[in-house]
Structure 1
């Protein structure tokens, strides 16, 4: 009886001893920090580039979370690395988006503040990953780690002077191989997660127009005077490969480029007018009006300014006016 009882007591002690060892092991374990992250898409939206100004910027949001399975709170130093993207082909400064036709649109990615380019550890061209610190509390229980989260904005900028970029949809994909997370103060320890994202933009068809005055100077107001010819220049800048038509509309509403200059008020009671015509050719045989596909001037954009000559004529045979200053306004319309 006693032998049998003794064996029973030893069998009961064994599980208690093993359980005690298990708790001791956990209590002495080192803290374990791991981090995950996600980045929203960076979308510049529709952009017009022919005006030569500074293109709009855009932002994307980085969300990150770190977990702690250890028994003590830790401060995590997290390094977020970004490479060149699928379309970059080692282009880091600037980075490059591509269209389906293979055209390039240059852009750059920056840290949330300042003008530091967002790069990656070990990249000699752009060596600046974004570094964040996060206080992560100890684990709550065996099955519940401590967690802490943070956010940061990534700023995207399109480079200026890209008026020659053809219209279209542009994209660069920063997949898993182009992003990574590293831990520790020197950004040297790899983590298991990345934060893939895409950068997109749509270059819209656009045109910009400026015009110089058409000044006929001083003319003889007597009947029978000869025609007075002068020229002016219209500068049209349209996005590459964009077809356009330029129409001219005098203030009197003529659709055939036949206007009339009115007195500017220097002579009280003067109601005389000076008729003129606008042409597309130096011989002044092809009128320049505003009827699409009829008497407008057509062209195709190159992304740079194209100078168009307006050939003007005051018809001497119809001039019999009082001395005065005469003026008219011509509206230039670019349709594309």
Structure 2
């Protein structure tokens, strides 16, 4: 944040220095809310917590003298040097730091804003190298200025998925319609529609895959069907979902929390060479 201090001198009189100032840069809570810690950004009726700090370690909250306790304003000492001119101006830049805490998973997608007002209060000593002890303890009061700025943050659409293996177990060769299940966990930004497709390694878009054996020389391939409901007549779960439609997949709406989806795999028969058979299914979450 940029600032400037101007002293109007007296022509022909050497002031040493002209003025020694302590000024407080006061920052209000903003239009996001009346609370100072944490501050709030708004998007309609939804909020995001955030904070502004006066130091890089995020330990000193930047506040205002209008606040009876912490957070406190940002205090700056400025010496305007001696001179024989009518007006002397000193300028500077004071950094400040913003932090948006994690874990605000239920915030809907959108841009969150707050307009903040910064005002200056302060006091100064003339013709001395000693600054006042505080913004209000000097014999002279600053003619203060003010400015405003907007703090903003954007919550974007995002999804994360984790999957558990489906294990059909050890089955006799006479088994038919062997079915097993497990779950997918989908976590999307609150209010984000999502559509989940399942793709066996053979690229079949209807969820019909094949498992291959682990033993060298075993060319058997065991067919299986993925579905969203159990059994041989279950609803096939394939991979025609897009970012706007479920197709033959599954759909949901994000809540910011994990949502569980059950996937079933059915093997019509087990009359194949004894071996351990497996396949890799890719989970595609479209949003």
| TM-score by shorter chain over 0.5 | yes
**1:186 counterpart = 2:134:** yes
Contact 1:167 1:203 in 2 (8 A): yes
Alpha-carbon offset, residue 252 of structure 1: 0.4
Alpha-carbon offset, residue 273 of structure 1: 1.8
Contact 2:179 2:230 in 1 (8 A): no
Distance 1:271-1:190 versus aligned 2 partners, 3 A rule: farther
Determine the structure 2 residue equivalent to 1:309: 262
Contact 1:276 1:313 in 2 (8 A): yes
User: Paired residue for 2:28, among 83, 89, 107?
Assistant: 83
**1:113 counterpart = 2:56:** yes
The 5 A counterparts of 1:240-255 are 240-255=190-205
Aligned-partner Cα distance in 1 for 2:257–2:190? 8
User: Could you give the per-residue CA deviations for residues 233-257 of structure 1, whole angstroms, max 9, x where no partner exists?
Assistant: 1111111221110000000001011
Question: Any stretches of 5+ residues in structure 1 without a counterpart?
Answer: 1-61
Instruction: Count matched residues.
Output: 262
Bigger-Rg structure (1/2): 1
Aligned-partner Cα distance in 2 for 1:306–1:248? 17
User: Paired residue for 1:148, among 80, 90, 102?
Assistant: 90
Alpha-carbon offset, residue 172 of structure 1: 0.3
User: Paired residue for 1:225, among 175, 196, 201?
Assistant: 175
**1:67 counterpart = 2:6:** yes
Determine the structure 2 residue equivalent to 1:326: 277
Contact 1:247 1:291 in 2 (8 A): yes
Determine the structure 1 residue equivalent to 2:223: 275
Determine the structure 2 residue equivalent to 1:161: 103
What secondary structure does 2:72 align onto?
coil
**1:195 counterpart = 2:147:** yes
Q: Whose strand proportion is higher, 1 or 2?
A: 2
Aligned-partner Cα distance in 2 for 1:320–1:156? 64
Alpha-carbon offset, residue 139 of structure 1: 4.2
Determine the structure 2 residue equivalent to 1:288: 237
Aligned-partner Cα distance in 2 for 1:79–1:242? 44
Contact 1:69 1:139 in 2 (8 A): no
Aligned-partner Cα distance in 1 for 2:200–2:39? 47
Alpha-carbon offset, residue 95 of structure 1: 0.6
Contact 1:68 1:139 in 2 (8 A): no
Determine the structure 2 residue equivalent to 1:171: 113
Question: Any stretches of 5+ residues in structure 2 without a counterpart?
Answer: 10-14, 124-132
Aligned-partner Cα distance in 2 for 1:154–1:217? 59
Contact 1:92 1:125 in 2 (8 A): no
What secondary structure does 1:227 align onto?
strand
Alpha-carbon offset, residue 190 of structure 1: 5.5
User: Could you give the per-residue CA deviations for residues 185-221 of structure 1, whole angstroms, max 9, x where no partner exists?
Assistant: 322256420121110122111111111111112122x
Q: Whose helix proportion is higher, 1 or 2?
A: 1
RMSD: 1.7
Aligned-partner Cα distance in 2 for 1:301–1:310? 19
Contact 1:112 1:152 in 2 (8 A): no
The 5 A counterparts of 1:23-62 are 62=1
Segments of 4+ moved more than 4 angstroms:
none
Alpha-carbon offset, residue 311 of structure 1: 1.3
Alpha-carbon offset, residue 279 of structure 1: 0.5
Distance 1:150-1:244 versus aligned 2 partners, 3 A rule: same
| Alignment TM-score, normalising by the size of structure 2 | 0.85
